Structure 1
Amino acid sequence: MARFDLTDFEWSVIEPLLPNKPRGVPRVDDRRVLNGIFWRLRTGAPWADIPERYGPHTTCVNRFNRWRKAGVWDRLLEAVSKAYDGDIQMIDSSSIRVHQHAANAQKKDDRSRCMGRSRGGLTTKIHALVDAEGLPIALKLTEGQAHDGRSAADMLSAIRSGQILLADRAYDSDALRQDLASRGAWANVKPMPNRKNVPAFSGFLYRYRNLVERFFNKLKHFRAVATRYDKRADNYLASVKLASIRIWLRFNESMA
């Protein structure tokens, strides 16, 4: 088994979730193709550099794109994350440098590609909501200069009564607090220093927010995520989700 290949445990989880193809020409071995996709994801190498042991690189590219369009990667992440620990959830974002090869795409503006211009060049921001184990529940891309709090508004629908959200000052707003309170949840968000009416805040619970930062550290072990090489935002988000699936699988394997 090569270094980045799926283990038997990981494959046993993934295989039943893959699309069936009862008729027509059988698909090229799914495990081999997925191993090629994960090899590229971990190394950040161009698709054309995928080793021959994984078959033609065009097969890996086509499978990645076809299953992204069909929602297969979304369904895999939803399936492996279904049993998340929802008592405490954390949200944060991380800026990713856009490689020059991804920045020269034509016909679409930077916002539609989730790229933002700053003094450091083009960046994409990954927003992540994680559970009490630091495992991803929801993921989203925006352009690099997007405001964290406003960008997170549509990521918090899964938070329910009795649950707690941990977040830093970028998410401090009355609207967010009121929205969670209306659902019986509590926003333990670090208040802005200029607040006149300082809301309740637990510094003890806030210490656990480092778990979302650890998630981003794990995510950036995948070099195709740590630097954005994809011109298309949907392809890059698919890579982020695939890396997140791998993080979930490794956690589950360690607990098995």
Structure 2
Amino acid sequence: MSNLFWLTDEQMAKLSPFFPKSHGKPRVDDQRVLSGIIFINRNGLRWRDAPEAYGPHKTLYSRWKRWSEKGIFARMMAGLAAEHGEQKTVMIDATYLKAHRTATSMAAKRGRGRLIGRTKGGMNTKLHAICDSQGRPIDLFVTAGQVSDYIGARALLDGLSNVKWLLGDRGYDADWFREALQDKGIRACIPGRKKRKTPVKYDKRRYKRRNRIENMFGRLKDWRRVATRYDRCPKVFLSAIALAATVIFWL
């Protein structure tokens, strides 16, 4: 198949520092297995439908499951994103990711902690993200779909780098959030809610750049396993998002 995905040697050199050490028997070819994992996640295939060029599908699944539970893929993105070098502007926003019935099955009995909620759009998970001025994700956080944007903002606040500006929409217009940014020396470019008695001034020209984080979400959703959540475990689902972000933006 000519449309198979293969990691290059240069890309493997960037990822290899984050691989866990092999104990005992050497691992199967990392380049082949990781390329197969990426192909499956990008196209939303079942593991048993993996092309033969990637080897046994059980090897792909076991590596994916084991490394996801250990947080290897999340550390890959975090490690590569730590070298972003952004010193001026970051952006914050959130988007909904639809949850498939395989992820929501038996949610009433054992669904606590799955981070799947019900909104007008059905069962979904919300992805909160911070990206740099080029639209590359720096930090990610997932919650249930009905959770307020403030929860995600509070979780991502501690990880904000030393920058000058933060862009966000009206969903992040809260006095406590503005004060927290001010304490960090970050200026907020966030329009005020319409119910505010006193209008909030913001840099409208700078605010127009916020479309880059929307474009980032759109590119992440090109991966079918990100646009639709099939995994019950939120840690595994976050690994799929982190892997997509790593391949699209940081390799």
Cα distance in structure 2, aligned partners of 1:245 and 1:75: 10
Matches within 5 A, 1:78-89: 78-84=78-84, 85-89=86-90
Counterpart of 1:37, as a letter, is I
Closer, same or farther: CA 160–216 of 1 in aligned 2, 3 Å: closer
Number of the residue aligned with 2:174: 173
Counterparts of 2:230 and 2:180, CA distance in 1: 36
Cα distance, 1:52 vs structure 2: 1.5
In the aligned structure 2, how far is the partner of 1:136 from the partner of 1:118? 25
Q: Is the 8 A contact 2:131 2:139 kept in 1?
A: yes
Is contact 1:160-1:184 (8 Å) kept?
A: no
**Superposed CA RMSD:** 1.7
Moved more, 185-194 or 148-157: 148-157
Aligned equivalents of 1:120 and 1:82: distance in 2?
A: 34
For the residue of structure 1 that corresponds to 2:94, the secondary structure is: strand
Q: Secondary structure at the match of 1:113?
A: coil
What's the CA shift string for 1:52-103, capped at 9, x where partnerless? 2111111111111211222321221122112221411101111111111221
Query: Shift of the alpha carbon at 1:161?
Result: 5.1
Q: 1:65 — aligned with what?
A: 65
Contact residue 4 and residue 42 of structure 1 kept, 8 A: no
Q: Which residue of 2 aligns with 1:219?
A: 220
> Whole-Å Cα distance in 1 between the matches of residues 31 and 66 of structure 2?
16
Q: For the residues of structure 2 that align with 1:140 and 1:152, how far apart are their CA atoms?
A: 9
When structure 1 is superposed on structure 2, of 56-65 and 12-21 the one drifting more is 12-21
Distance of 1:162 and 1:39 partners within structure 2: 35
Identical-residue share of aligned pairs (%)? 37
Checking the alignment, whether the CA contact within 8 Å between 2:42 and 2:224 is kept in structure 1 is yes
The separation in 1 between residues aligned to 2:174 and 2:249, in whole angstroms, is 31
Q: Distance in 2 between matches of 1:80 and 1:162?
A: 18
CA displacement, residues 226-253 of structure 1 (integer Å, 9 cap, x when unaligned):
1111111111111001101112234xxx
Q: CA deviation at 1:2?
A: 4.6
Give the Cα separation in 2 of the matches to 1:31 and 1:219: 22
- State how many pairs are aligned: 248
Poorly superposed stretches of 4+, deviation over 4 Å: none
Q: Which stretches in structure 1 are left out of the alignment for 5+ residues?
A: 251-256
Q: Which residue of 1 aligns with 2:38?
A: 38
Contact 1:127 1:140 in 2 (8 A): yes
Shift of 1:16: 3.5
Work out whether residues 77 and 241 of structure 1, in 8 Å CA contact, stay in contact via their aligned partners in 2. Answer: yes
Contact 1:124 1:141 (8 Å CA) reproduced: yes
For 1:66, what is the secondary structure of its paired residue?
A: helix
Partner of 1:128: 129
Q: Find the counterpart in structure 2 of residue 51 from structure 1.
A: 51
**In structure 1, what is the Cα distance between the partners aligned to 2:126 and 2:104?**
15
CA distance, structure 2, for counterparts of residue 62 and residue 101 of structure 1: 19
TM-score by length of 2: 0.92
Q: What stretches of structure 2 of length at least 5 have no aligned partner?
A: none
Q: How far, CA to CA, are the matches of 1:16 and 1:155 in structure 2?
A: 25
| Offset of residue 127 of structure 1 | 0.8
Distance 1:11 1:105 in 2: 39
AA aligned to 2:236 is N
Q: String of CA shifts for 1:150-186, please: whole Å, max 9, x gaps.
A: 3211102233555211000011000000001011111
SS of residue matched to 1:92 = strand
TM-score (norm 1): 0.91
